[in-house]
Structure 1
Amino acid sequence: MSKPKGLSRRGYNSKRDSGALRFSSRNDYENDNNNRDDVMERSSTGRISFKRLQLKGNIKNRLTERAIRTRLKDEERTISTFNERTRGLRHKSCTIPKRNFGETSKLIPSTLGWYHVMIEFTRRYSKDDVIQALHNAIFPENFIAHYWRTEKSYVEFFVQEYSIAQRLQSVERNVEMDDGYRLSMRVRGKCPTVSIDEEFKERMQLVMAKRYNPHTKLLDMSNFHADADFRTIFCGLLHSDVMSAALDIIEKHTPDLEALNLNQNHLSELDSFENVEQRLPHLKIIYLADNNIACLARLMVLRNAPVTELILETNPLLQRYKDHSSYVAAVREKFPKLVKLDGVKLEPQILFDVNDVYSLPRAKALFLCDTSGGNIIFQFLEQYFKIFDSDNRQPLLDAYHEQAMMSISVPSASQVGRLESFWKFNRNLRRTVNNGVINRIRQLKVGPLAVVSTLAEWPSTQHDPQSFTVDVTIFTPKMMCVTVGGLFKEFESANNTAGSIRYFQRQFIVVPAGNGFCIRNEMIFVTRASRSQTRTFLKPQQTMPVVDTFATPTATIEIIGVQNELQMDHQGATSSAAPDQPDDATKMQMVQVMSAQSHMNMEME
């Protein structure tokens, strides 16, 4: 049967494509000159519609359905980063592409070295049955399920090997039990949790005692969590709380430790080693191989320790340097006293023959510009903070001048966390500048009633007098400037004995008032205490407290009211001190003694 020509071709195509319009090729069109008018007439009255592309089967570049789906998948990956509201938009005539439903995402290697496996709805099966089914699914691979735990609707355990975790994820929907039930499993990178209590610390202490060598003064804590005594609990040093507990045990029982092995513990930071030069002054060798330390900045907490040997092999930080010499130079820059690095003895550095070691004056807990004011200042502080820590702070109304002014400031929340009890009183400059003059004035408390009302809103406190540092920079008959810093405990409620340790600094401007003194101006700064400060709170000191430095048998004053507590017979003090004015020779001796104690030049006195 020969093909119809011209318009009769439309009927021929309708049998194949159900009435869809088909354009003829160029050769056929040139042979149909006789039907040109009919075609033009049909085009002027017919409708135009889009249809599926059809090419002859012998064309090599034909787009098959599989090629189209592949291209659409590639476009999906590119479009997936667009805004959520733009996703899924398509033309109504486009074919809906097949999506990768049911396919699991790729497991990312965990920097913590642990992987969490959770299996739902398996209470009816025993642990051995579930483990056996998993072994059969990933055969010939083998694994150990650490820290198995059974909950109401699921079971969980941990594995260490990334290859095992990958393999378990690949079969997470294909593990079948003997009765035909398929396990629903989820694998992700996660570290086991830990709860530190006294029993936990006792077990840590036993394991550390077993690993300590008293002859070499070496404590081997490598791969610490894998010790046989930790089968049922996770004791990973990668948790900062666990590392802090370990250092507390070392400081208490082996303060003369010289070498510490921390290899293979997945450590990424060493913040727990703060002030290690004071806690372990003899520590010289530290092994940190096979950990996750990313840069030398993580080791700066050890810069003041007398470290002479470091082991840093197999850490990510080595990849930051183009060659070994650059790596050695960078480490020696941070630790100039280093003798051995990664087991290799370093060549001695070429240094200038100059003694650049200077000893700074020893920090002291107090400074008095005039020693004659010691008794007055310490009586004032002792009585003030005794009332401040009591249940009723209202008597402090008599301690402030009629035009007294007070302001409170705390650091930003991004630095030390939000100090909830003090944040609403914060008059920090950065906070008040953006909020205008009104808020700046509102946070400045003027008058004794406003000052004491603000202090009464503070939570209950307990100050540690042995942590106080006192500076008296001005002491005249008309004014005293006293700066006090120290620690106090903030109690959330009266019945709660556990509180947060805070550091404070308060500056008082004290002026005479009647027969006594009162506070004319006060600035308060409150922040969170550091770890080292928290450890020393309310602990007995080896030296005498600063309050007792100038104590005399007549220093005790009966507490009847705040005015009686704070007032001193100012006139009597000045009149009694007048006959005892030292001569020039005595003054010169006092200057020499002060110069020897403060290490200041005679010209500066």
Structure 2
Amino acid sequence: MTSDVHNETLGNWFKVTIPNGRKYDKTWLMKSIQNLCSVPFSPVDFHYDKHQARFFVQDARTASALKDVSYRICDNTNRKISIFVTPSVVPYSVKNKLTSKQMELLKVTVMKRYDASHKALDLEKLRFDQELMDNDIDMMLNRRSCMVATLQIIQSNIPELLSLNLCNNKLYQLDGLSDVIEKAPQVKILNLSRNKLKSVLELEKVKELKLEELWLEGNPFCNKYADQSDYISAVRDLFPKLLRLDGNELVVPKRMDVEVPQASKETTKESEFIKNLIVQFLKEYYLFYDSGDRLRLLDAYHDEACFSLVIPFNFNDPNMSNLEEYFKYNRDIKKMKDSYMRLRLLKHTKRDIVDSLSLLPKTQHDFCSFWVDMCFHTDMMLCFSVNGLFKEVEGKCQGCIRAFTRIFIAIPGMNSRICIINDELIVRNATPSEIKKAFNSQSTPNSSVQTPLSEEQQEMVKSFSVQSGMKLEWSQKCLDDNEWNYTKAGEVFTILKNEGKIPKEFFK
């Protein structure tokens, strides 16, 4: 009898993966899934793993019901959300869950390290705490089970926590710490210095914290920035309310502090300030624009901003027809006689603008091709144009090189940012000479050499193979052909399979 209970506890586990689930709020995502699932369930060990959301369930009936939910949930861009369910070993956080006695000892240790007067908890080198070592409790905070246990104690005993020190704990990822957002939402000071974080992207897992002070020095990724301003900018993108970084005060200009320009009097300092402001804006803007999730551009626009798109007609261009995805949004007022259509094609309010941008083909811009021209600037307004090249990365025109001009009019925004109030995009086919120069700074892929798959991509291939029934090599090709977009690859596979266009030898 004992053996059967033990097997029931450790067996029959299933891993549930939501590709690109990182961009969805946990509460909304789980509520949406539970509302459509025919079997009630409680997710075990929900966490974000890079771009994916994951959790575990133990019952085969629940696993089957969750498979049926796939593609039935739509996000706010009307994109269907896919759900992959695969057999799994026992979740680490369950297998290594601390006993009640260990939890009590951990609670005593944590509370001894808590400074109630400052609402500060010092967990530096927690693994080497003498009391824990004397009781053979190995508190490696990189283990989800250890971090989960620690956060549970914080939630139950220190809900008012303002400062958390996790320095010197050999953290190389922050998956387990992501729960701090709901366990200790009032934390304003976080010390992650002298750990093993290799990418600033790890901080996205705790970006919902309203941090005012953050310590990161001594992590490997900090040395990757040649310029201190780039390092500060990368961190502040995630924590816009940050006042101190690594102990240093951050300057937060309230407005663009420049005088009305006079060409003969404009100082080098003013010119450099405006240049850096625009360059930083363009880096952030096109990073989000090319990411596939253009909803992240909402903060770049004023609430009442305007946007229009124009396609200049060129009789000498034999390939004008391949711009059809843009022509339907073309607002050339010289040719557009219908006043109603002219008004309809002028996008007004930031939500309409970003929704319209999301309908345009997915792209990759060649930042090295950008040519920026300052039209004018005052203390309260900035106008500049950007010329450059981009290529489409999916669809029937995948790989096509386009040339564009973007004219932005902006005003000062929050946190030393600029806020777009008018945006005009002009798109045309690139000339042969422009195509030749495009993306020259990037090495050309060699078809005879395959880039090794990342750990995340390998996991995606395995999951896709289990769900589709295809062999690993064809699952990989399907994902690769669809830019490693799980949802799109699943939709394409389903369509082709239903039409009988996938050869039998592709399957296991």
Q: Which has the higher contact order (CA 8 A, sep 6+)?
A: 2
Q: Is the TM-score greater than 0.5? A: no
Structure (1 or 2) with the larger CA radius of gyration: 1
Q: Which of the five TM-score ranges fits, normalised by the shorter chain?
A: 0.3 to 0.5
TM-score norm. by structure 1 comes to: 0.29
